Amino acid sequence: MDAVDATPDAARLDAQSLTTPDVGGRPLPRHWSAEFDLDRLERWPLPASRERQAHDAADVLLVDTLAGWAADGRHPSPVAVLHDQHGAVCLPLLAQGLDVRLGLDEASATRSVRHNLDLFRDVDGRLPAGWGELTVGGVDGCTLAGARTVLMALPRALDALHLTACAVAVHAAGDVLVLGAGRDKHMSPAMNDVLARSFRTVVPGRGRSKSRALTAAHPRPDAAIPAPRSRVHRLEGLGEVTLTGGWATFGGAAADPGSRLLARTLLEHSPALPAPRSRSMRTASGLEVELPWRAPAGMPDVVDAGSGNGLLAVVAARVWPAAAVLASDQSADAVASSAATAAANGLADRITAVQDDALESLPDASVRAVVLNPPFHDATAVDPTVAHRMIGAAGRVLAPGGQLWCVWNSHLRHRPVLEAAVGPTRQVARDRTFTVTVSTRL
């Protein structure tokens, strides 16, 4: 591993400029990343992948950059780590004895970090001697209050980076040191400009292993957390719909083309809410009887899986006016957006927004219909298995005879996955980019 050179006089943040610890130069007394077995980390609950690990070079650079600052005498605590998807940043810091507050927006990341932390516990559930304590929360004031050091995996979306930077500037200590890192292919000079809107000093570091760290300090006194944005859209067959999107919600307050096509298709077909079939059961005496399907108490009729800004939840509530609708998303920011959209359209009494990872909290065979515009990416990587996971979740929660209405980029060819995970699938609409299908649960 290349050596990292710590900044001279790194403990002082009142200098005119900061220099991120660079590649080469004076070697560190210790490499924190090398002292931790990153290869033990897993991507669970996301699908396993030979091509993708639970850590990358940007994670390693973040950990070693903080070690560079610590080697020059800066005491990092309290430490907050943000957007660490699988624990590749926070867990090595815990192993160094640091107490860490972890801020995450995604439910799958929370599950993954807790899972990976458990891999290091002994049979009695204890972590190794000398490890620090981990507190998991959101990217908010509880996590960031008074933090003197903030490490973050840089969000690829500039709006999400702006929201994070504002939260840090508002809630962290006045002398906070912010270290953000990412892969070169996912970074741009615009990230420096976004950080500069919240911090007076932003300095890029030299690259290492096709990754780079940015250092920010001196929060601007006028920094403020931006309010979610709202836009009014006119949708064919639906009229005006107000969408509210947080800065970390994919698509913000836009009505994306795929969701528009699915919305138009549902409104044109006006399908009846599926009536789930009875199921056969063999009694102890060998007789086969039919048991009528009954929804578990408190279950919704329809689920908008991966609800984002809540557009499809609103459409479902209009198409099925007697249905209780659940807007489910793993992003806390998206859940807040879905709830705000429901309220803006007078549907707060019929749409409930919850944070959940791939419908994990819903029982098997518990709902009548699912609407889905699945993601085609995992963080910064295009990954169809993310959509496959959502399709599988929809198949699990649908009752026999229930329907999945799904829109997807035609070139991704999800139909075999829909057939296998849900049941018979037919195309009901298509344009130059997207395909809409309806699948019936067997």
* Bigger pLDDT: 14 vs 226: 226
Task: Point out the domain boundary residue: 195, 219, 243.
Answer: 219
- 411 and 351 in one domain? yes
Enter the DSSP assignment of 7.
P
Among 138, 107, 113, residue whose Cα is nearest residue 306: 107
Note whether 169 and 219 are within 8 A (CB): yes
CA–CA distance, 266 with 428 (Å, rounded to integer): 10
Out of 77-91, 123-137, 376-390, least confident range: 376-390
- 65 and 214 in one domain? yes
Instruction: Provide the domain limits for residue 10.
Output: 4-219
DSSP per-residue codes, 214-275: EEEEEE-TT--PPPPEEEEEEETTTEEEEEEE-TTSTTTT---HHHHHHHHHHHHH-PPPP-
Note whether 354 and 337 are within 8 A (CB): no
Residue 15 has pLDDT above 80, yes or no: no
- CA dihedral 279→298→421→251, nearest 10 degrees, is 160
pLDDT of residue 339: 98
Does the model's pTM come out above 0.75?
A: yes
Report residue 24 as tokens.
Answer: 């080469």
Tally of domains in the chain: 2
Average pLDDT taken over every residue of the chain: 90
Structural domain contains residue 224: no
- 181 and 262 in one domain? no
Residue type, 375: P
pLDDT of residue 26: 39
- 158 and 213 in one domain? yes
CATH of the domain at 393: 3.40.50.150
Intra-chain end-to-end CA distance of the chain, in Å: 53
- 245 and 168 in one domain? no
List of residues 6+ apart from 385 with CB closer than 8 A: 46, 47, 49, 378
Q: pLDDT digits over 125-145, tens only?
A: 999 999 999 999 999 999 999
pLDDT of residue 31: 63
Cis link prior to 45 (omega < 30° from 0)?
Answer: yes
Strand-pair partners of 134: 100
Question: Sign of dihedral through CA atoms 19, 23, 26, 30?
Answer: positive
Question: Sign of dihedral through CA atoms 62, 176, 81, 169?
Answer: negative
- 383 and 235 in one domain? yes
- 207 and 309 in one domain? no
Structural domain contains residue 114: yes
- 245 and 158 in one domain? no
- 248 and 209 in one domain? no
Indicate the SS3 state at residue 442. Answer: coil
Task: Point out the domain boundary residue: 196, 219, 242.
Answer: 219
Q: pLDDT tier at 294 (50, 70, 90 boundaries)? A: confident
- 100 and 41 in one domain? yes
Q: pLDDT digits over 47-84, tens only?
A: 877 778 999 999 999 999 998 888 878 889 999 999 99
